[in-house]
Chains A and B, each alone.
Chain A
Amino acid sequence: MKYLTEFRDPELARWLLDAIAATASRRWTLMEVCGGQTHAIIRHGLDQLLADQVEFIHGPGCPVCVTPLEMIDRALAIAARPDVIFCSFGDMLRVPGSATDLFTVKARGGDVRVVYSPLDAVHLAEAHPDRQVVFFAVGFETTAPANALAAVTARRRRLANFSMLVSHVLVPPAMSAVATAPGNRVEAFLAAGHVCTVMGTEQYEPLVAAHRLPIVVTGFEPLDLLDGVRHAIAQLEAGRAELANAYQRAVQPDGNPAARAILAEVFTVCDRAWRGIGTIPDSGWRLADAWRDLDAEIRFDVGGLTVAEPAACRSGAVLQGLLRPPDCAAFGTSCTPRRPLGATMVSAEGACAAYFQYRRLAPAGATHVPDSAGPAAAVEA
């Protein structure tokens, strides 16, 4: 597949690895922000190939993982109503709420449906005018344009039975929270390339200036990730902190202006609770006031539902890069993708799931089992 296989070329990867090794005078600590990048790093064994040059701390960029427990509980409350068709991206269904999950609600007779695009939920609302159709609008800046257009389309088609439970999160405030956290060890960020396809790169200039850390916009294929590392280490070795773009085939400086215009109309910035991390100011989007007639929290009166995070799952420490998944006592024993304790084991983008899937089961200090998954297992979504 064009633009996948050629960015997985083993010979070019070897040259990039050599260039990194020739530049690095010591081991640097980098954070890849996006969960998709975490999976690619673990799956292709890049952390093992770069063991002498880079320690990867896995960032909080997994939308399923950071959706707070109380938002899952609100989803469960709405999905259990007999008058509702509840639509969600598939990876939210197994995320445990306080007492149950969406799969269980479905098994008990709730009308829970997996959709690929939020527009599918709008079509369901058109086809079922006698039912309330609710879409669970989670995700980062990458899924937000799709969700915003669902709202626009529902209004254009005058659908009174469509609403959205919105729990959007934003990447730059989370990076600031990481950089300013006590005990932060991150020396440079590999920024999430696909978030930048929407939002552009200018949001990161103030972060570079405020935290004096290199930020390299980075893609998702092995060569993209190695090039991101190469840029970051070149800056660190030279004592520089700049914004760089190592994903130029996909990211323009101003992002996608058409998407940004609709996002600015439909959503407004709000404080957002992140699962396992806590509330980060101005780190989320909710529906703007002019769109609140589509807000499922108001329509079904679940906004007051709040719950505390459970203690058993240490995903908060994983999401902040304080704990490696295999070093958690529950990892691979009481917590597996089939029976997850927390969201980092559920999601296709969660760090715990990545370590489990690619059989990195050994705790720190032990010998790792090499990754055997090859490029053949390519397309993941």
Chain B
Amino acid sequence: MCLGIPGRITEIWDDRGTRMALVDFGGVTRTVCLAYLPDVTVGQYTIIHAGFALTRVDEEAARQTLAMFRDLGLLDAELGAAEVEASR
């Protein structure tokens, strides 16, 4: 019930004063309520709980996090190389 899933907004409409959207979860689509994200637009990713979009996925933050993980790998490779060097 409280597992949140990211999905992409494909369509937005108004249902008697409540903002609703169609969200694509990688092929499966669902109708969700946008009452708590008044500013999201078609194409953006949100995280959905119990039929409600609760947060917009910050694509820049996601990119930075993944870049930081890749930097860890570069560091890892360098340290690994340094260890091999030192053991010679």
A contact set with B: CB distance below 8 Å: 1-4, 6-7, 9, 11-12, 14-16, 18-19, 22, 34-36, 63-64, 89-92, 116-120, 138-140, 142-143, 145-147, 149, 153, 156, 194, 197-198, 220, 223, 227, 248-252, 256, 258-259, 262, 348-349, 378-381
Cβ of A11 and Cβ of B73 under 8 Å apart?
A: yes
- A256 to B53 CA separation, bound complex (whole angstroms): 10
Compute how far the CA of A147 lies from the CA of B73 in the bound complex, rounded to whole angstroms.
43
CB distance from B15 to the nearest CB of A (A): 9
CB <8 Å contact, A145 and B54: yes
In the assembled complex, the Cα of A104 lies from the Cα of B17 at a distance in Å of: 38
B80 vs chain A, min Cβ distance (A): 9
In the complex, besides A1-B6, A18-B76, A220-B3, 14 extra interface pairs with C-beta distance below 8 angstroms are: A2-B8, A12-B66, A14-B73, A15-B69, A15-B70, A89-B50, A91-B1, A119-B33, A119-B51, A138-B1, A142-B2, A143-B2, A149-B35, A250-B47
Chain B residues lying within 8 Å of A140, measured Cβ to Cβ, are 2
Chain A residues closer than 8 Å to B65, beta-carbon distance: 227, 248-249
Interface residues of A, dominant DSSP: helix
Contacts of B69 in A (CB 8 A): 9, 12, 15-16, 223, 227
- Count the A-B residue pairs with Cβ separation under 8 angstroms: how many? 150
**Which residues of B are found within 8 Å of A145, using beta-carbon distances?**
36, 49, 52, 54
- Tell me whether B85 is interfacial, beta carbon within 8 Å: no
- Say yes or no: B18 contacts A19, CB within 8 Å: no
Question: Can you sample 16 A-B contacts with CB below 8 Å?
Answer: A3-B57, A14-B73, A16-B69, A36-B4, A142-B4, A143-B49, A145-B54, A146-B52, A153-B18, A197-B55, A248-B65, A250-B57, A256-B37, A256-B54, A258-B38, A348-B3
Are B61 and A248 touching (Cβ within 8 A)? yes
Known: A12-B69, A379-B25. A250 touches B2 (CB 8 A): no
Number of residues of chain B lying within 8 A (CB) of chain A: 42
B58 at the interface (CB under 8 A from A): yes
Q: How far is the CA of A16 from the CA of B66 in the complex (A)?
A: 11
Partner of A36, one of B2, B33, B36, B61: B2
